[in-house]
Structures are given as C-alpha cells and as structure tokens.
Structure 1
Amino acid sequence: MNTTDAPSSPPVIALTPVRAADQLLRITALVDRTGLRIEGELDRVTLPALTLALASTAGSGSFCVDLSGLVFIDVGGLRALVNAAARLQGGHVLTLRSASPQVRRLLELTGWHEAPGLRLEARQSAIPQKLKPAVASDRRSQPAMRLTGIGPFREPADHVD
C-alpha cells in the first residue's frame, strides 16, 4: 500500500458542449480550471440544461462558472447557481467568474451574495489604471477646467451689452 501523498490533478469532466432551446444557451467545460462557461441566455427554457451541467460538475468538489458570455439570466437561473453552491460540502465552493454588474446587483438585492458555498470572483478591470476616469475624490484635488466656445455650447458672457 502506497502511503505517499502524491499531488492530485483536478478531475477531468467529460462535458460536451450543451446547446439548449434552439442554441440560446451554450455550456462548455473550462480549459484553465474545473468548471463551466455559460454563453447566451439563461431562462426557464434553458434552465434544465444548466441544472444538468451543474449536477455533473458538482461531484468534482470546488468549481468555477464563467458568466462572461452570459447575455441574460433570470432569477431562476441565478437560483440554480446558488442552490448548486449550497449543495457543495466539505468546504468546497462554486466561484462565479466574470459576473456582470447586473448579476452582482441582483445577488446583493436577494442576499444570495452571502449564500453558503458561493464565491464571487473579484472583477478585474479591463481599463488600465492610467486610463480610468477620475473619481469624485480625485476631482476635488484638481483645479476646475472650463471649456468655452466649443461647439454650440457656449458659456453666457460675463457682461450684458
């Protein structure tokens, strides 16, 4: 009997792309880690395909669901993700990657952002730091800039003739 703890590789999930409801939803396995990528629309019509894919992935422990290709999700689809996370045991988590601001807002409004087993991956900005617009606190320290005489928007004259 071998008692040496060999590093284990993540389980391989044989998941062929799933297309549902006349190709409104496409679910594929992630390449970089255990999980799923969801593309398209997730609603009551396409929900059974997601439920099946989540069930087949959940047996592998912690996994990720990439939502970057998601165009629409209703509350039923969001509930399916939260329920899949809640069913994970042994400290495993379901990580939602690339959740849109709308999905994040809905999770907060419902209180599901704190659901057991669910983790929202921090959003990474695609805008380089130097190109980001100034926030309100940054503007206070900068002198006000006045643009006059540009296009049809002209400031009124300081004096009346």
Structure 2
Amino acid sequence: MEKAYLKTPLGIAVITGDGNGVSSVTVFDDEIAFSPLVPQHLKKAVTQLTEYFEGHRTDFDFPLNPSGTEFQQKVWNALLQIPFGKTLSYIELSHQLGDPKAIRAVAAANGKNPLWIIIPCHRVIGKDGSMTGYAGGIWRKKWLLEHENPVKQISLFF
C-alpha cells in the first residue's frame, strides 16, 4: 500500500491505495510531516480531491478498493448514490436497502466507511434534519454539507 497526503481545509488527508484502487481516505487534525511526492496510483485521487475542495468537482471516478463486510459494502454502495448537494436520513437509507429495522446496522456501517468524502457518509443525517454522528467530527460534516450546498448563504454580519 502506498500513501499520499493532501492538505485540506479540514486537516491533512491521508490517501492509501495501490494498483487495485484507493482503499482509504482519512483526515487528521494535527499537522503531520509528510512527503509531497504522490505515488502514481494515487495521483488521480489527489487531483480530484483537490478539485473537490476548490469547488470544481462534484463526483469522483478513480478506482475504489475499500475493505469491509458484505453488508458494509452494500451500505457504502448505497451512499455512493446520494447526489452531491443532497442529504438522506438514516431511516430513508435503511428503507432503500430493504430493511427499515436495520437502521442501527446501517448507521454502524456508515461509521466504518474508510473513504472519507469519496463515499459520502457525511450526506446522511437524522430524520429531523439534525447533524448526527460523524467519525470525522460534526464540525467537518457541517463544513462538507455547506461546501456542497448549491445555495450559498451570505452572512449579513462580519
């Protein structure tokens, strides 16, 4: 496995993968020492994540290779269907997967998502619209949803 690092508005992203695809994207709060060199297999991911943070990209098309159970893979594939700028509740996601009673299992699989931003688990919210659970921190989830919101709010106060 090779690694690439990307400084983002939300911390340092660590992108891990090989010739089979990107297996994880994680983010760290702390400044970490890293090499600016990007392995060939990860260049497309770094480029596309950079474009996403610059506001020029709404989807990703590089190969993914996350490791997880069959159920987790099913949930992650459903997450990939949530359009940019849209949200879905955990209960709606459970219904889409065919088992409304599996809401806790769906939420747990959502929390195990190894591909931060790429598999958009940040687009899943509480049924009342609340910002519930996010492994990267609620402040990051809020930032990502605001970043993806097609209607940008302008502050009246500076």
TM more than 0.5: no
Greater RCO (Cα-Cα under 8 Å, separation 6 or more): 2
Q: Structure 1 length as normaliser, TM-score?
A: 0.30
Which structure's residues are more often helix, by fraction? 2
Greater gyration radius: 1
Which structure's residues are more often strand, by fraction? 1
Q: Structure 2 length as normaliser, TM-score?
A: 0.30
